[in-house]
Amino acid sequence: MGWCSLGSMSASVATMRFYFDYVSPYAYVGWHRIQALAARCGRDIEPIPVVFGALLGAHGTKGPAEVPAKRRYLLKDVYRKAHQAGVPFSLPPTHPFNPLLALRVSSIPMAEDTRRRLIDALFAAAWGTGQGVAERESVSRIATALGLDGEALVLEASEPQAKERLRRHTDEAIAAGVFGVPTVLVGGELFWGVDALEGLEAFLDGRDPVPPEIVVRWEALASSATRRA
């Protein structure tokens, strides 16, 4: 890995937008790994909560937990990735679960260091300890344990403006081409999934091997076969 030197990159390239949803165990592992990468490369992270289900609906796809064969594979794969990253991993009480309240709480305006501590704690409860984040009481208790007013945050997250904020984040992610979580957007490039973080680091270090001309050719290629439904 390189040192990801900033060089002459602009502030927009230096900041990495991290799109996530607590329902995804890959986003949990990715959140831990992206923080280490950011520290190593001297980048800032802008964590952006989005609704994974809405991303899937917008692109006409299914989540891995909705496909039985992928669901079986997912558990072992994410467990291996968590082990490799040195991240504790436990199953939540249910899955899929409803992450909306936790996502809305995470999007409420607050100091960025506070937001990151809250995201850390909610991800840990979702996938590190198995406590879960689907219930109002759990989210409130987690926030309160950080010294925040958990009940006030939960109440604010139930207001129309909090719901609209999360919808806006999700719509903006879809417009940017985000189709899954975790996804990192930096310098106009998308990096989807935990496995893409090596490519992200190479990109930040100016070592992206993808030639622009092959991308242009790919987008212009005609189809000669169509898959039958």
Query: pLDDT confidence of 3, banded at 50, 70, 90?
Result: low
Tell me, yes or no, whether 137 lies in a domain.
yes
**Candidate from 41-45, 99-103, 162-166 with smallest mean pLDDT:** 41-45
| Nearest to 119, CA basis, from 97, 143, 145 | 143
| Percent of the chain whose pLDDT exceeds 70 | 94
Task: Note the pLDDT tens digit of each residue in 167-197.
Answer: 999 999 999 999 999 999 999 999 999 999 9
Residue 11 above 80 pLDDT?
no
**Candidate from 10-19, 145-154, 157-166 with smallest mean pLDDT:** 10-19
Tell me, yes or no, whether 94 lies in a domain.
yes
pLDDT score, position 227: 83
Angle between helical axes of 100-107 and 136-145 (0-180°, round to 10) = 40
Mean pLDDT of 71-93: 96
| Nearest to 182, CA basis, from 33, 31, 16, 58 | 31
Note if the bond before 93 is cis, omega within 30 degrees.
no
| Percent of the chain whose pLDDT exceeds 90 | 90
Query: pLDDT confidence of 14, banded at 50, 70, 90?
Result: confident
d(CA 222, CA 4): 37
Residue 43 above 80 pLDDT?
yes
Tell me, yes or no, whether 1 lies in a domain.
no
pLDDT score, position 4: 64
Task: HSE, CB side, 13 Å, CA atoms: give it for residue 96.
Answer: 17
pLDDT score, position 5: 55
Structural domains counted in the chain: 1
Residue 13 above 90 pLDDT?
no
DSSP state of 205: T
Which pTM does this prediction carry? 0.94
**H or E segment and range at residue 6:** none
Q: How many residues does the chain have?
A: 229
If DSSP codes are grouped into helix, strand and coil, which group holds residue 45? strand
DSSP state of 123: H
Residue 34 above 50 pLDDT?
yes
Find where tokens 């890959």 sit.
26
d(CA 64, CA 94): 15
Tell me, yes or no, whether 227 lies in a domain.
no
**H or E segment and range at residue 48:** strand 44-49
Task: State the average pLDDT for the chain.
Answer: 93
Q: Residue 77 belongs to what domain range?
A: 11-220
Tell me, yes or no, whether 72 lies in a domain.
yes
pLDDT score, position 47: 98
d(CA 113, CA 66): 34
Tell me, yes or no, whether 95 lies in a domain.
yes
Mean pLDDT of 52-81: 96
Query: pLDDT confidence of 52, banded at 50, 70, 90?
Result: very high
Tell me, what CATH number does 215's domain have? 3.40.30.10
Cβ atoms of 199 and 208 closer than 8 Å = yes
